Structure formats: C-alpha cells, structure tokens
Amino acid sequence: MADIALDRPAAASREGASAWSRLRTSRGWLGLWFMAPAALILLLFLAFPLVKGIWLSFTDTRIGRGGAFVGLENYEWLWDDSVFWLSVFNTLLYTAIASVAKFGIGLYLALLLNKRLPFKALIRSIVLIPFVVPTVLSALAFWWIFDSQFSIISWSLRHLGLLDHNIDFLGDPTWARTCVIFANIWRGVPFIAITLLAGLQTVSPSLYEAATIDGATPWQNFRHITFPLLTPIIAVVMTFSVLFTFTDFQLIWAMTRGGPVNATHLMATLSYQRGILSGSLGEGAAIATAMVPFLMLAIMISWFGLQNRKWQSG
Amino acid sequence: MAGLEIRNVQKSFGTTPILHGVSIDIQDGEFVILVGPSGCGKSTLLRMIAGLENITAGEIRIGSRVVNAVPPKERDIAMVFQNYALYPHMTVRDNMAFSLKLRKAPKDETATRVNRAAAILGLEKLLDRYPRQLSGGQRQRVAMGRAIVRDPQVFLFDEPLSNLDAKLRVAMRAEIKELHQRLRTTTVYVTHDQIEAMTMADKIVVMHDGNVEQIGAPLELYDRPDNMFVAGFIGSPAMNFLKGQVTGNSFRTDGGLTLPLPTRGARPAEGQRAVYGLRPEHVRLAEGGVPVEVAVVEPTGSETLVLVRPPGEAAGTDLVKDLGRDMACVFRERIAARPGERIAITADPNLVHLFDPESGRRLS
Ligand SMILES: Nc1ncnc2c1ncn2[C@@H]1O[C@H](COP(=O)(O)OP(=O)(O)OP(=O)(O)O)[C@@H](O)[C@H]1O
Ligand SMILES: [Mg+2]
C-alpha cells in the first residue's frame, strides 16, 4: 500500500545504474537484507529442529544408534497403540477444559481489575504471581498439596470432620486429571488476565458512556462493546494459550509423570517418555509430529475465524 | 421535548469543589450554549445533566422530573461527544440503530428512523461504512445521527466541532443550527469558541471557575456584559480594559488618554477609580480626537487591526491585565499609518463600559 511511495528512490536510480547499486538502493531489496538475519535465525533454530524431528519420525533411530528410514512404520505402530490414543484424548481434554476455564476466569479477573479498585497495583501484582513462579516450583508445590499422605486439603477436611480418610489425589485417575488441569489453570490465568486487561484498557471510556446513554445495561455494555472490541486480542491470547496448554510438559511431568496408569499422559509427556527415557527416538518423534496437525488446526481457526475484522484498521 | 432546570448545582471531585452552585433555566426548544475557558466545568455540568457524573448538591430537572437519581438511559437525553465515541466495530447504520436495538424497537421502525436521520444529515451513502472509513466531518455527522435517531427530550453536545478544521467547522455550525431549527429539540451545547456561541445560541451561559458569570442572549452579553470577565470573553478581538479615573466629563486613563464617559446609566462620581471597557471595533478615527501612537498595523482585508498606545508610554501601561499588549482598535477603513506615527481616535460614548476595578462588576 505504501509501496508506491517507497519505491520511488529505486525508480529514480533505475537508468544507468549497475545491478549492484540497484540492489543497494532498492527499498525492496533493502527490506530483504534487513530481514535476512532474523530469517536465518528462525530457519536455524525453529525450522531445522522441526524438519529434523519430522525426519526422525520416519526412522527407527534409537539413542546412541543412527536409524534407517522406515517410512510410516512408527505411525502405524501408534495407530494401534491404545496408550497413544489415550494420550491424545488426555491432551484434548486437558486443553479444552483448561483453556475454557482459563479464558473464563482470566476474562473475569481482567474485568474486575479494570474497575476502580482500592490497592489496584497491589492486586495486579498478586494476580501475576502464579505466572512468575517457575513452573517446576509451582508443580512441586501442587504435588505436595495433592500428596496422598501429607495433602493439606485432605488434612484440613479431616480436621473439619468432613472426611475420614485421605484423598489419593494423584493416585486416582479422575482426581489426577482434575488436579493437573487445576494446576494448569492456576498457572495460566495470570497471562490471560493481564493480556486481556491490557486490551480492556485500550477501549475508550467514552464508548461505555455513549452506550450507557444509548440505554445499555452493564451486561449489554459488555456484550455489545467490550467483548467485540476485545475479540482481536482474545483471538491472539487464546491461540497462544491453546498452543501452550496443548504442548504442556513441565507441570505433568513434575506432578504425575503421566500416571496413574497413563491417565494424565499428554502427547508431549508420552513423546518424552518413549523418545528419551525408553530411547526410541523415532517413535517419540512420531508422537510429537502427530501434535502438529492439531496445532495447525488451532492456528487456522484463530487466524480465519477471529483475527481479521473488517472494522479494524490495517 | 422538555425544558431543563438546573438549580444551585454543585460538584466536587473528592474534596476539590469544581462547580459552586450553578443555576440555569432552559426553556423547551431553546438552544443554550455553555462557554467559558478551559477547566471551568462546562463538560462536568453537561455530564451531570447526562447522568455520567453524580450531583454533589442541588437539583437538575428535565421537564418537571428531578433526575438527580435517574440513571442516564432513563433521562431521555442524547449526547454527542467531543471525540464522537462512535462504536468502531459497528457500521454507521448499526451505530445509529444501537439505542433502538437496545430498546428492542421493531426492525422496520428502526430502519425508518435511521434512514430518516441519514437523509437529514446526508449520510445515506455511508450507512454501510465503518467509522474508520469516514472523514472527521462525516464522523461528526454520524455522532449527531446517533443522537437524532433517539428523538430525545434534550440534546447535549460537548465541543462537537473542536476536532474539525476551520472551514468544516463553519459549515457544521450552520448545519447544527439548521437542524435545531428543524427539530426544535432543547439543546445544551458546550464550546470554548465564543464565535460558535455567538452565532448559534438562543442563550449563552458564560462560566468561569465553576460559577455562572452571566446568562443572556448573545447580543445582550455583547452589549451589556455584567462584569469584566464576560466583557473580555465575549467579542473578538477582546475588549480593551483601561485603568484610570473619572475626571470631569470624561475618563482619564493612567496613561494619559482622555475618553468620553458612557452615556448610559448613572454618572459616576468625580475622581472615582474605574476600568474603562472599550471594544476594538468601537474605536473611531476622529479629527481632533485623542492622539495615540501606532504600534502595529495588521490589515485583514475587510478591516484593519491597529494596536496603539498613549504617546510616549510603554506597551500596556493602561491595560488592567498587563498582557504586554497595546490597546487594540479595529477600523473599517484602511489605515495607511506606520508604527511610530500618531493617529487621533475617539470612542463612541454609547458603546463604552465602566467596571469596578476591585469586583470587576459593571458600574451603573
Ligand atoms: N474525574 C475528575 N476528577 C477530578 N477532577 C476532575 C475530573 N474531571 C474534571 N475534573 C476537573 O474539573 C474541572 C472542570 O473540568 P471540565 O472537564 O468540566 O472542564 P471544561 O470546562 O469542560 O474544560 P475544557 O474546555 O478544557 O473541556 C477541571 O479543573 C478538571 O481538572
Ligand atoms: Mg470539556
């Protein structure tokens, strides 16, 4: 769109200039030069591992032993592997519940923090704490909270007389799933809340005033003003959230290592277990590669479904 | 439609008082303009009428109903904001239809009303555009359309033209005035542009530091300002204020100019200190008048602005507020005088004013 203006210096020097000086002065080429370092880094550190991983998934490489190309054999194995399918199910469940809950709670918190509150700055920093604590550390804390013998929850409930035995939080499949999802929500909410808060603060207060005068109730203000204006940022933040949740590894590994009986194994943890711990790099790579279509789908949905709005400039 | 009554309204933000008891009566169908310098509380008052700020003390009535505790949406007012506050994610049509949609008005009624407002404002071709695709003037018109569609009891405008360029402002000024003549909806309009106020208002309310200084028709304020603030605020270029005292049949300024006393009102006492108010456009060239020294000549084509000072005096000696400025005169004639030359002037005694130097109130 601005190309017309930007191209002018190049056009001026077109006649009688050598190819090199044209390369040096053309705005288009200049852009390419500036992009090159970043592109190179991206290629080296992002594309290469990805391609390498996908390549590995077509081999029977084991740790310490180079492998041969085996075609789709790893995938055929996985196709018949009930643990793999369980991990797919777990991942989808984990991602769906955690993302929806994180969105709901995050949005609620953001709306709350956007109001005039006493000690606003303090409350905002408190909200950020779960995000600041290293994941492994918080996972350990959760592990302790949900421990079968020393769980503070069981202890409190027992002392209140509501319970006569300890709950085996991480030993029971349903409880274990609930606990890891809870931990993920706890950890993910601040990111969403703070990002949405930033989005909320870009909405001009006079829009709410105009809507109020037009007769909008607080709910209608949210429904017709806040929410639509927030959709672009919701799209971005939820895409990230879904991607991070889908590929989550640390929390699970620190809390349950995929147990009990694979009930909390996600694709990422299963891939690590098969690929690194059991040494079947090829199979691990295949599991990891199997995540790619899901992630692509998530990106597509947000890209086409939410991000481009006619009313936005640019 | 309805009138509006503002009774001794006060407003404080926290402990800071902003409005100190404002009373204004607005008749049904009247176009009232609030003017005053920046920060005097115009927007605050308007927002209190709209219900966006609560009322610390006093009473606001719309029609006969006290609205102090009535939420904005039930006040039946429409407001046009300085930044227009158009909903960026809605088309022009949806922007205008929004209030009706919230009221769950029937679809065909909504369409009729939106189309009628669009026709009045010449927005028919823009109905499917988004606000970002409109020019400033078009946005302004959409904001007005949004208000018109509501068919409210009272229109409130907060400096609706201040974001437009000078030419467009003049055009929109006429458009708003015409619109008011057509709809006859009671209107309260805030501006700090006194030309806007003079040209559009049925009644002007001059505010200063949270007080009403004077309320009156535009020419009334121009002809008979109650105090020096109003006198200086209304009229452009601003009125000259000259310090001095009453001496015999004339007024002698501290700089040594002798000017005629006003013919209106009671004759002030001999020797009384006063401030002489003289509008630049009421200064005449006169053979045998008061000699003054020309400091600056600024021809504008239709008239000539000349800054003068008492001969041999420094700039601004006579003036009350030492603005470092000379006395301004506006002449219809073209003046050939150069800086440093002398001209003879006089003032029309029917058009000059005397003010009390302490209180600033009008004498007589
Ligand atoms: N929310 C607020 N909290 C504290 N003080 C405020 C608030 N809003 C306005 N004020 C103060 O109230 C005074 C009047 O403000 P207001 O916006 O009414 O001025 P105005 O006459 O509209 O000026 P302008 O011509 O610049 O728009 C100002 O001194 C301002 O600082
Ligand atoms: Mg204002």
Per the CB < 8 A criterion, the answer to whether B277 and B362 are in contact is: no
Whether A266 is in a domain gets the answer: yes
Look at residue B82 and tell me whether its pLDDT is greater than 80: yes
Residues A22 and A127 both lie in one domain: no
Whether A63 is in a domain gets the answer: no
* Tally of structural domains, chain A: 2
Residues A81 and A16 both lie in one domain: no
Considering only residues A9 and A106, tell me which one the structure prediction assigns the higher pLDDT: A106
Alpha carbon distance A262, A288 (integer Å): 17
Residues A26 and A83 both lie in one domain: no
Residues A244 and A275 both lie in one domain: yes
pLDDT level of residue B312 (50, 70, 90 thresholds): low
- Strand, coil or helix: B340: coil
Helix/strand/coil percentages in chain B, nearest 5: 25, 35, 40
Residues A155 and A18 both lie in one domain: no
Alpha carbon distance A85, A228 (integer Å): 37
Whether A284 is in a domain gets the answer: yes
Q: Which residues of B touch A210 (CB under 8 A)?
A: 79, 81, 85, 87, 146
The domain limits of chain B are 4-232, 238-355
**By residue range, what is the domain housing residue A84?**
70-312
Residues A251 and A186 both lie in one domain: yes
Whether A85 is in a domain gets the answer: yes
Ligand 1 pocket test: which of B42, B81, B189, B193 has the largest number of ligand atoms within 8 Å of its C-beta?
Answer: B42
Q: One-letter amino acid identity for B54? A: N
Per the CB < 8 A criterion, the answer to whether B318 and B275 are in contact is: no
A/B interface, count of CB pairs below 8 Å:
60
Residues A50 and A122 both lie in one domain: no
Residues A29 and A162 both lie in one domain: no
CATH 2.60.15.10 fits B238-355, yes or no: no
Per the CB < 8 A criterion, the answer to whether B309 and B255 are in contact is: yes
Whether A62 is in a domain gets the answer: no
Residues A45 and A116 both lie in one domain: no
Q: How many CB atoms lie within 10 A of CB B202?
A: 15
Q: First-to-last CA distance in chain A?
A: 10
Alpha carbon distance B39, B321 (integer Å): 20
Residues A52 and A87 both lie in one domain: no
Whether A65 is in a domain gets the answer: no
Q: What is the ipTM of this complex?
A: 0.83
**Closest alpha carbon to B170 in B179, B178, B161:** B161
Superfamily of domain B4-232, CATH level 4:
P-loop containing nucleotide triphosphate hydrolases (3.40.50.300)
Which run of H or of E encompasses B246? strand B240-247
Whether A61 is in a domain gets the answer: no
Provide DSSP, B174-189: HHHHHHHHHH--EEEE
Taking the model in full, what pTM does it have? Answer: 0.80
- Strand, coil or helix: B286: strand
Residues A147 and A25 both lie in one domain: no
Alpha carbon distance A26, A21 (integer Å): 8
Q: How far is the CA of B227 from the centre of ligand 1 (A)?
A: 24
**Closest alpha carbon to A211 in B116, B160, B94:** B94
Look at residue B317 and tell me whether its pLDDT is greater than 70: no
Per the CB < 8 A criterion, the answer to whether A272 and A250 are in contact is: no
Whether A176 is in a domain gets the answer: yes
- What's the gap in Å between the CA of B130 and the closest CA on chain A? 6
- Strand, coil or helix: B248: coil
pLDDT level of residue B318 (50, 70, 90 thresholds): low
Residues in the ligand 1 pocket, defined by CB under 6 Å: B 13, 18, 36, 38-44, 192
Q: Which residues of B touch A216 (CB under 8 A)?
A: 73, 102
Which run of H or of E encompasses B24? strand B16-26
Provide DSSP, A76-94: HHHHT-HHHHHHHHHHHHH
**Closest alpha carbon to A86 in A213, A262, A258:** A262
pLDDT level of residue A313 (50, 70, 90 thresholds): low
pLDDT digits (tens, 9 = 90+) for A193-226: 999 999 999 999 999 999 999 999 999 999 999 9
Q: Which residues of A touch B81 (CB under 8 A)?
A: 206, 209-210
Residues A156 and A78 both lie in one domain: yes
